[in-house]
Structure 1
Amino acid sequence: MIESDPPDELQRDDKSVITIGTFDGVHAGHRAIIDALVAKAIEIRGRSVVVTFDPHPQVVLRRKGDSVPLLTSAQERDELLGELGVDIVVVLEFTQQTAATSWEEFMENLLQKVGVAHIVFGHDHAFGSGRKGTAEALREMGRERGFDVTEVGPLIVDGEPVSSTKIRRAISEGNLPAAEHFLGRPYSVTGTVVRGDGRGRSLGIPTANVRPLEPSKLIPGNGVYCVAMIVDDKRLAGMANIGVRPTFTDGSERTLEVNLFDFDQDIYDQVVTVEFLRFIREERKFNDADEFLAQLDIDRTACRDE
């Protein structure tokens, strides 16, 4: 897969099959669009091109103080798109100027710099200023400019359409199996292992303190989770606590700590990926360290049985 930023670096190819979107999460609904994109490119012996944005448009357009919880970082998104067989990912910087650009001007830029034979479009997607770049508008332009449009309907899973909003809600509520079902993979957070206060090791339960690489990444709600952690391409079982560690701290800083089973190596400063498999319980304050450790034994047993 080739990643191009900006499209000026691409050689124009009038047999390009393109789709446009943010694709946060690259969930099952997105994959239906990407599968149609790749299949059409193979059919016409062209190339599949995803046109996407960084930062996420919501980061730019949000009201001051609003948070934008992302399901994937830009790097994660682009890697997932490559795994699905996309030939080229064109990453456009999203700015206030981008938001003010009409869909006609946006498309004209793609026609001139990328080339367009076919557009694959999600059923509820629209782009450009005022969200006027709809599938119907594209069909009308296509009749004049010589490209076709395929509109992909919603993907229905368990009687409801898959959406990033529903996945975010499931993760925030601790419904990890539902999130995994909609994503097609466990929800994960990639970060760097940083030094903590060493309390876990002093209690006989060494933990990896993971600082997410993407500041806007959605972190599940506070509590204890069964997890798997990818370290040096190895998938290791463990449990994680997300929260403020009220038994031992004043609760001023939210952290992600992972205790790996049957593992005790120095992985400080390494980049790891934590996969969230199941929510076990809410975070709570214990009376003392002994009560805390007794509960961890119960949590560990629950996760080992996962």
Structure 2
Amino acid sequence: MIVHDGYENLEGIKNAVVTIGTFDGIHLGHQEIISRIIELAKSVEGETALVTFWPHPRYVLGNNQDDLKLLTTFDEKAAILDQLGLDHIVRVHFTKEFSQWTSEQFIQRIIISALHTKRLVIGYDHRFGKDREGGFEHLKKHSNRYGFEVEEIPKQTIDDVGISSTKIRNAIEDGKVELAHDFLGRYYEINGEIVGGDKIGKTLGFATANIQVEEPYKLVPADGVYAVTAELKGQQYKAMLNIGYRPTVDGKTKKIEANIFDFNDDIYGEKIKINFIKRLREEIKFDSKAALSKQLQKDKEKAIQILNQHLKNHSK
């Protein structure tokens, strides 16, 4: 898959079959659209392209941007789309000036002039252009003039999936990562770098890798203890992870700490990917470090049981 930073110098996309949108999370509803453009591209010996916007329009337009956390960073989104078989991502830099483009300007400059689109596929409720004036009816009415065919993914198809990025955010904010999995068709992930910590976990018998998520807009699940898998250097490991303030040891700052099972390597500075399998419990304050350590052993046993079942199911 090729990522194009901007639309100004596009060339060589054969018989482009295109869709448009932010596609945060690439949930099952989004995947319906991606599957359709891949199917259409095969029928015309063409290539698929997603026109997406970065940063997210709400961050630029100031509509409660402080409250918006995204399900996917751009790199995560690109990796998922690559796995799905998309050929091209066109990353349009979203600015206040760009937000003033009319739907006609958007179609003429990007869909026609830059991409030479042969077919455009959009979701039933997708709007674009200044004040969200553009939509399927406008596209259908003017498709002959534009020189490309347009197709709408019907309301019934999307509603049958019953998914929205908002629903997934709500599930993750509540720690319901299994529900998020059902909506996404995969486990929710965070990516970060392993940084130095205060080594308190080691004194409890559970050494941890402290994970720094660099993007402040990335949605981190609710505080608590989770059964997770950790991907490091191309290998996958079983682990449990705590998100929170560690009240038993008087933690002052929120941390994300993973205890990777049967693992002792020095991994400071390494990149790590965490897949959330199941929330085990809330973060609570214990009467002593000994009581906390005892609970952590129970958490580990429960996590191993859950992860063994998870790996068994995925090996079938």
**TM-score normalized by the length of structure 1:** 0.95
Letter of the 2:287 partner, please give it.
N
Residues 1:299 and 2:299 aligned together: yes
Q: CA deviation at 1:241?
A: 0.6
Equivalent residue for 1:83? 83
What is the 5 A alignment of 1:169-248? 169-248=170-249
Say what the alpha-carbon RMSD is for the aligned residues: 1.8
Question: Could you tell me how far apart the structure 2 residues matched to 1:143 and 1:160 are?
Answer: 32
Structure 1 residues 91-130: Cα deviation after superposition (integer angstroms, max 9, x where no partner) = 0111111222111101110211211111010111111111
Question: 1:29 touches 1:155 (CA, 8 Å); kept in 2?
Answer: no
Gaps of 5+ in 2: 307-316
Letter of the 1:220 partner, please give it.
P
Residues 1:288 and 2:288 aligned together: yes
Q: 1:158 to 1:52 in 2, by over 3 A?
A: closer
Gaps of 5+ in 1: none
Q: SS at the partner of 2:142?
A: helix
Q: 1:10 to 1:301 in 2, by over 3 A?
A: same
Question: 2:34 touches 2:86 (CA, 8 Å); kept in 1?
Answer: yes
Q: CA deviation at 1:154?
A: 4.9
Question: Could you tell me how far apart the structure 2 residues matched to 1:291 and 1:100 are?
Answer: 59
Q: SS at the partner of 2:183?
A: helix
User: Which stretch shows the higher mean deviation, 185-194 or 208-217?
Assistant: 208-217
User: How many residues are paired up?
Assistant: 305
Letter of the 2:267 partner, please give it.
I
Question: Could you tell me how far apart the structure 1 residues matched to 2:160 and 2:51 are?
Answer: 30
Question: Could you tell me how far apart the structure 2 residues matched to 1:207 and 1:157 are?
Answer: 41
Residues 1:58 and 2:58 aligned together: yes
What is the 5 A alignment of 1:27-38? 27-38=27-38
Q: 1:85 to 1:270 in 2, by over 3 A?
A: same
Letter of the 2:180 partner, please give it.
A
Question: Could you tell me how far apart the structure 1 residues matched to 2:288 and 2:157 are?
Answer: 48
Question: 2:58 touches 2:64 (CA, 8 Å); kept in 1?
Answer: no
Q: 1:112 to 1:160 in 2, by over 3 A?
A: closer
Question: 1:12 touches 1:113 (CA, 8 Å); kept in 2?
Answer: no
Residues 1:135 and 2:119 aligned together: no
Structure 1 residues 262-283: Cα deviation after superposition (integer angstroms, max 9, x where no partner) = 1111111100001111111111
Question: 1:154 touches 1:162 (CA, 8 Å); kept in 2?
Answer: no
Equivalent residue for 2:25? 25
Structure 1 residues 206-238: Cα deviation after superposition (integer angstroms, max 9, x where no partner) = 000001132211000111111110011111111
Question: 2:52 touches 2:91 (CA, 8 Å); kept in 1?
Answer: yes
Equivalent residue for 2:309? none
Q: SS at the partner of 1:269?
A: coil
Question: 1:70 touches 1:216 (CA, 8 Å); kept in 2?
Answer: yes
Letter of the 1:130 partner, please give it.
D
Residues 1:2 and 2:17 aligned together: no
Question: 1:157 touches 1:182 (CA, 8 Å); kept in 2?
Answer: no
Equivalent residue for 1:258? 258
Equivalent residue for 1:72? 72
Q: 1:158 to 1:179 in 2, by over 3 A?
A: farther
Over the matched positions of the two proteins, sequence identity in percent amounts to 37
Q: CA deviation at 1:291?
A: 0.6
What is the 5 A alignment of 1:91-110? 91-110=91-110
Q: SS at the partner of 1:7?
A: coil
Q: SS at the partner of 1:174?
A: coil
Question: Could you tell me how far apart the structure 2 residues matched to 1:20 and 1:3 are?
Answer: 15
Question: Could you tell me how far apart the structure 2 residues matched to 1:159 and 1:178 are?
Answer: 16
Structure 1 residues 166-195: Cα deviation after superposition (integer angstroms, max 9, x where no partner) = 111111111111111111110010000000
Question: Could you tell me how far apart the structure 1 residues matched to 2:298 and 2:80 are?
Answer: 36
Equivalent residue for 1:274? 274
